[in-house]
Amino acid sequence: MFRAWTVAQALARWWGPRGGWIKVYQVDLRPDGIFFTIRCDGRTDKKCLETFAYREIAAPERIVFVNWLADEKGGTARSPYHPKRPLEIRNTLTLTEHEGKTTLNLRGGPINATEEECNIFQGLPGSHAKGFGGTFDRLDEYLSKA
C-alpha cells in the first residue's frame, strides 16, 4: 500500500477521480520533496496541474503532504470548479496493518486559508467524498492486480 502512494508509476495508474487521466512528472519522496502531476478529470478538456509537497514521511505507515492546484509556472492557482476553495490542503495519510489487512486513513484540511475559504471547504464533503470515492475505487482495482 505504501508503494502505491509513493512510486510514480503506481500513482499514475490510480490517482484521481474515475473518468480522467493523470501523468506523474516527479515523485521526490523526502520532506519538502515534490509530487507533481498534470491531469484531466474527464469533465472538461481543461488540464489541471496539481502539486504535492511532502512534509513528513514515516515509511511505511505515515505520509503528511500539502497539495495545491498550480499554474503553468508552479504557483498556486484557484480551482476552476470551486473558485473559493482554499489554495492549500494539508493531508495526513496513515496506514495501519492488522492481521494482513491495511486500513487507510486520510485526513485533510485547509492551511493559510481565510475564514470564508475554510467555510467553503467544510461545505464540500459531498464533492470530496465523490472524488475520493472514485479515487479509492481505482486504488482498490490497482491493488487487486498488483
Strands 34-40 and 21-27: antiparallel
pLDDT tens-place string over residues 2-59: 999 999 899 888 887 777 677 887 889 999 998 877 766 555 556 677 888 999 999 9
Q: How high is the pLDDT of residue 129?
A: 58
Scan for cell 489554495, then name that residue: 87
- The band of 146, judged by pLDDT with boundaries at 50, 70 and 90, is confident
Q: Is the pLDDT of residue 122 over 60?
A: yes
Q: How high is the pLDDT of residue 44?
A: 54
Q: Is the pLDDT of residue 80 over 90?
A: no
Q: How high is the pLDDT of residue 65?
A: 95
35 lies in which domain range? 2-145
pLDDT tens-place string over residues 123-142: 776 656 566 778 888 999 99
Q: Which residues pair with 58 in a beta bridge?
A: 62
Q: How high is the pLDDT of residue 22?
A: 78
Scan for cell 472538461, then name that residue: 44
- Number of domains within the chain: 1
Give the mean pLDDT of 57-68: 95
Q: How high is the pLDDT of residue 50?
A: 82
Q: Is the pLDDT of residue 107 over 90?
A: yes
Q: Is the pLDDT of residue 82 over 90?
A: no
Concatenated DSSP letters for 66-98?
EEEEE-TTS-B---SS-TTS-SEEEEEEEEEEE
The CATH number linked to 6 is 3.30.530.20
At 134, is the secondary structure helix, strand, or coil?
Answer: helix
